[in-house]
Chains A and B, each alone.
Chain A
């Protein structure tokens, strides 16, 4: 890490770790969508994933490390950016079309950190065989039941959707920033990259947000 000194070094560390996290978000989403297949499909997927241990511990450790490096590098960049303009303007104006996603990056990022902590407590570090997995019909549904009990709660559902909006907003700027920070495309493709990035951000947010909505709508089937 001693070689990560310059502004561009740090930006490229953020971009590289960001790409890893984007891939994780997409893979996680693919797994989540098994919820639409019912308890057997969803729990079956979870069992298969758990069957990959102990190799999975290695992936989880790498993911945690990448997450922390992403946070560390972005925190340094944000602090440097704040210091770079000690006296602000009286009158602000955005001429670049006013992308709120780019300006909100540190805030959507902070929201995602808070969400991840809550999410792990809520769904990962729980006893799946215990009462958390039992639905109102009195039967235990394992992880499927845990997800239904959590997201079946309207407050949890709304918080989850709010967090997914933060993820989508973060990614809509993050994906195009990854391309730009590694200089992967030239001038003519940049507008297309922006459109694809914004589209993917919205798509990912919508796909994740569909889950609590579906849980709410289908919760009655387990009474």
Chain B
């Protein structure tokens, strides 16, 4: 027999971009502790729908911790209290019976709230479009051994490529800075020989776009690294800073 718990939720409700928004209190009763956090919200929403009320809007897709769609600030922490875990992979066994849980959307000028817990993260798409890619000649796949990659570079690039673009770094940053995200992308591409070709334009383009989207400036609190569900290191920010300076000096 699965264990069940009762919870009190303080959930941010906001009708749309123009609405001021407010917290509303909901009871979540008989929650199976094997449920994920999103499944718990599903249960609450089922009840709200039955009562003829508007369900709580939240983003989700794969629910396997790899897509980057979900995310809310739970008790002050993006993706909740578990390290290196997305909200969909957070299970209710992490909470105690009669806990009160505060659920808020990502808060940043670059991520305006669309509805309730859903924020518009298209700013990240804009940043990616400003250089987060490699322009390759398409055609048949080249022989893999023609471009040697150092083992350490491959590993570090892969670590940076683990970024799922969920935006928890921005949500956690006291300055709502997106530098961990951009640092991860700059590292991911820039560490590989295929990405070196456009490294200078990439870092300049992505940083300019990041600034234009209204994100803040990193002041080295490293809250982003602690919040990141994929454990992206702040050394990616250091690499971005270094690459940015060298692109300026090369001008």
Interface residues of A (CB under 8 A from B): 3, 6-12, 77, 80-81, 83-97, 99, 102-103, 105, 173, 176-177, 180-187, 190
The dominant DSSP class at the A interface is loop
Measured in the bound complex, the distance between the Cα atoms of B208 and A120 in whole Å is: 40
Give the interface segment out of B31-39, B55-63, B229-237: B229-237
Of the candidates B109, B221, B234, the one whose C-beta lies within 8 Å of that of A190 is B234
Q: In the bound complex, do residue B175 and residue A84 qualify as a contact, i.e. CB atoms below 8 Å apart? A: yes
Chain A residues whose C-beta falls within 8 Å of the C-beta of B77 in the assembled complex: 93, 95
B231 to chain A, nearest CB (A): 11
Measured in the bound complex, the distance between the Cα atoms of B217 and A81 in whole Å is: 6
Q: In the bound complex, do residue B227 and residue A90 qualify as a contact, i.e. CB atoms below 8 Å apart? A: no
Q: In the bound complex, do residue B172 and residue A12 qualify as a contact, i.e. CB atoms below 8 Å apart? A: no
Known: A81-B217, A93-B77, A180-B238. 8 other contacts (CB 8 A): A6-B207, A7-B211, A8-B244, A85-B176, A87-B107, A95-B223, A97-B226, A190-B238
Q: In the bound complex, do residue A96 and residue B175 qualify as a contact, i.e. CB atoms below 8 Å apart? A: no
Measured in the bound complex, the distance between the Cα atoms of B22 and A173 in whole Å is: 36
Let me know if B75 is at the binding interface, CB within 8 A. yes
- The answer to whether residues A99 and B234 also contact, given A84-B214, A91-B75 and a CB cut-off of 8 A, is no
Q: In the bound complex, do residue A177 and residue B220 qualify as a contact, i.e. CB atoms below 8 Å apart? A: yes
Of the candidates A77, A88, A96, the one whose C-beta lies within 8 Å of that of B225 is A96
Chain B residues whose C-beta falls within 8 Å of the C-beta of A92 in the assembled complex: 76
Measured in the bound complex, the distance between the Cα atoms of B218 and A182 in whole Å is: 13
Q: In the bound complex, do residue A91 and residue B76 qualify as a contact, i.e. CB atoms below 8 Å apart? A: yes
Measured in the bound complex, the distance between the Cα atoms of B241 and A182 in whole Å is: 6
Of the candidates B10, B215, B245, the one whose C-beta lies within 8 Å of that of A12 is B245
Measured in the bound complex, the distance between the Cα atoms of B218 and A181 in whole Å is: 9
Q: In the bound complex, do residue A84 and residue B215 qualify as a contact, i.e. CB atoms below 8 Å apart? A: yes
Chain A residues whose C-beta falls within 8 Å of the C-beta of B222 in the assembled complex: 96, 99
Measured in the bound complex, the distance between the Cα atoms of B99 and A80 in whole Å is: 36
Let me know if B242 is at the binding interface, CB within 8 A. yes
Chain A residues whose C-beta falls within 8 Å of the C-beta of B104 in the assembled complex: 89-91
Tally chain B residues at the interface, Cβ within 8 Å: 50
Q: Which 4 A-B pairs have the closest CB atoms?
A: A93-B76, A183-B242, A84-B216, A187-B235
Q: In the bound complex, do residue A89 and residue B109 qualify as a contact, i.e. CB atoms below 8 Å apart? A: no
Measured in the bound complex, the distance between the Cα atoms of B227 and A3 in whole Å is: 33
Measured in the bound complex, the distance between the Cα atoms of B218 and A99 in whole Å is: 15
21 contacts between A and B (CB under 8 A): A6-B207, A7-B207, A7-B218, A8-B240, A8-B241, A12-B244, A77-B219, A81-B216, A85-B109, A85-B216, A90-B102, A91-B104, A92-B76, A95-B172, A95-B226, A96-B221, A99-B221, A181-B220, A183-B240, A183-B245, A190-B234
Chain B residues whose C-beta falls within 8 Å of the C-beta of A186 in the assembled complex: 235, 238-239
Chain A residues whose C-beta falls within 8 Å of the C-beta of B71 in the assembled complex: none
Q: In the bound complex, do residue B217 and residue A11 qualify as a contact, i.e. CB atoms below 8 Å apart? A: yes
Measured in the bound complex, the distance between the Cα atoms of B177 and A185 in whole Å is: 21
Of the candidates B175, B234, B245, the one whose C-beta lies within 8 Å of that of A180 is B234
Q: In the bound complex, do residue B245 and residue A176 qualify as a contact, i.e. CB atoms below 8 Å apart? A: no
Name the residue in B216, B220, B225 with the highest tally of chain A Cβ atoms < 10 Å from its Cβ.
B220
Chain B residues whose C-beta falls within 8 Å of the C-beta of A87 in the assembled complex: 21, 107
Q: In the bound complex, do residue B235 and residue A84 qualify as a contact, i.e. CB atoms below 8 Å apart? A: no
Let me know if B108 is at the binding interface, CB within 8 A. yes
Q: In the bound complex, do residue B216 and residue A88 qualify as a contact, i.e. CB atoms below 8 Å apart? A: no
B185 to chain A, nearest CB (A): 14
- The answer to whether residues A7 and B109 also contact, given A12-B241, A103-B174, A181-B241 and a CB cut-off of 8 A, is no
Q: In the bound complex, do residue A83 and residue B172 qualify as a contact, i.e. CB atoms below 8 Å apart? A: no
- The answer to whether residues A7 and B107 also contact, given A84-B175, A89-B76 and a CB cut-off of 8 A, is no
Chain A residues whose C-beta falls within 8 Å of the C-beta of B174 in the assembled complex: 81, 103
B131 to chain A, nearest CB (A): 13
CB-contacts of B118-166 with A (<8 A):
none
- The answer to whether residues A182 and B217 also contact, given A81-B176, A94-B223, A95-B226 and a CB cut-off of 8 A, is no
Measured in the bound complex, the distance between the Cα atoms of B17 and A86 in whole Å is: 13
* Closest partner residue, chain A, to B101 (CB atom): A91
Chain A residues whose C-beta falls within 8 Å of the C-beta of B207 in the assembled complex: 6-8
